[in-house]
Amino acid sequence: MVKPVPDVESFVYDYERNVLVRDGVHEVLNPEDATALAIALEIKKASPETVIETVTTAPRGVVPHLEDLVRRGVDRATLISDPWFVGSDTYVTSRILARAVEDIPHDVVFSGTHTTDGGTSHVPPQLAEASSIAQMSNILDIDIATLTKECATVDVDGEDAVLRFEIDLPAVLSFQYAPRRKLPYISYEDLNRDVGDRIRIVTNDDLGFDRAEVGLEGSLTQVARVEVKRLERKDTLFVRNDDAGIEAVYRFLMHKGFLPS
């Protein structure tokens, strides 16, 4: 399960106008989804008979992203896209995904734990609930050597401990961002490979939801308003990293009681 998201790192906050500048922001693959996909590709490398299919709900404009993933080693990509689905909350999105995933033969579903745009972390557990299977978030690692079609052993980043679980498959396994796990580069000869036949587009004609079940109408939550978080500017003292500056900081720390006077 993968999703292209706006690159939030390139948002800039304009303190004078108190607005978020989003001009020219491009889309990237959600970083945790990239980790999940990189792990899937590692598994495929170890067991070449593995078939990887990505599933995405998004507007059709993301097709070039999906083609890019196929050129990196994904076997097939399914894009779920329908004008009726626009505005769906996570409850509805998960139901749509669950219905689409039913039609895709699979042993396990990989995903990121959260996305950088919505960031709710709802969809993986809700997809699992809609499919009546187990789910685990914040996975740090999966033991590829012992992975079978029936069971996976994973390490999970808990509140105060790292927990190792055995999870019966099928299940939804949601990974944490791991920068050392990178998607492979596209080989030179694949750069312009035509992969159109590997992309499948699924619409509501295939899934058969009623109008009232999906989109804004079917959603159980509604965004009342969105505002930019106000950040207050302070009356700032600027100093340099020289003796006078260090004294200024030292004095400040002493005055405020952080150092014994």
Partner 1 sequence: MKRALVYLDPAAVTDSLDLVDVASRMYGPDGCAIYGLCVGASEEAGHGVVDHLIRVDDDRIARHDIVNITNCIEELQDEYRFDAILVPATTFGRMLAPRAAMRLHVGLVADVTAVRCREDRIELVRPAFSGRMLASIVNRGRVPVMMSVRQNVFTHEPRHTRETRIVDFVPQRVRNSGVRLVERQKKTEAIDIRGSDVLVAGGGGVLRHFGRLEALAEELHGMVAASRRVVDSGVAPRHIQVGQSGKTVSPRLYIALGISGSIQHVVGLKKAEYVISVNSNRHAPICSLSDIVVEGDAREFIERMVERIGRGGPVPPDSRDTIHNLRNDGGTA
Contact positions with partner 1 (CB under 8 A) in 159-218: 159-168, 171, 177, 179-180
Q: Is residue 136 a contact residue for partner 1 (CB under 8 A)? A: yes
Q: Is residue 148 a contact residue for partner 1 (CB under 8 A)? A: no
Residue 198: partners with Cβ closer than 8 Å, 6 or more residues away? 67, 70, 74, 75, 76, 77
Do 200 and 78 contact (CB within 8 A), yes or no? yes
Residue among 44, 72, 106, 122 that touches partner 1 (CB under 8 A)? 122
Q: Which of residues 7-26 bind partner 1 (CB under 8 A)?
A: 8-9, 11, 13, 15, 20
Residue 89: partners with Cβ closer than 8 Å, 6 or more residues away? 219, 220, 221, 222
Do 92 and 81 contact (CB within 8 A), yes or no? no
Give, in degrees to the nearest 5, the angle at Cα 132 between 63 and 1. Answer: 20
Q: Is residue 105 a contact residue for partner 1 (CB under 8 A)? A: no
Q: How far apart are CA 53 and CA 234, in angstroms?
A: 51
Residue among 107, 118, 144, 186 that touches partner 1 (CB under 8 A)? 118
Q: Is residue 225 a contact residue for partner 1 (CB under 8 A)? A: yes
Residue among 47, 75, 184, 250 that touches partner 1 (CB under 8 A)? 250
Q: How far apart are CA 135 and CA 129, in angstroms?
A: 8
Q: Which is nearer to partner 1, 78 or 115 (CB)?
A: 115
**Shortest gap between Cβ of 188 and partner 1 (angstroms)?**
29
Q: Is residue 46 a contact residue for partner 1 (CB under 8 A)? A: no
Q: Is residue 86 a contact residue for partner 1 (CB under 8 A)? A: no
Q: How far apart are CA 198 and CA 53, in angstroms?
A: 9
**Shortest gap between Cβ of 216 and partner 1 (angstroms)?**
10
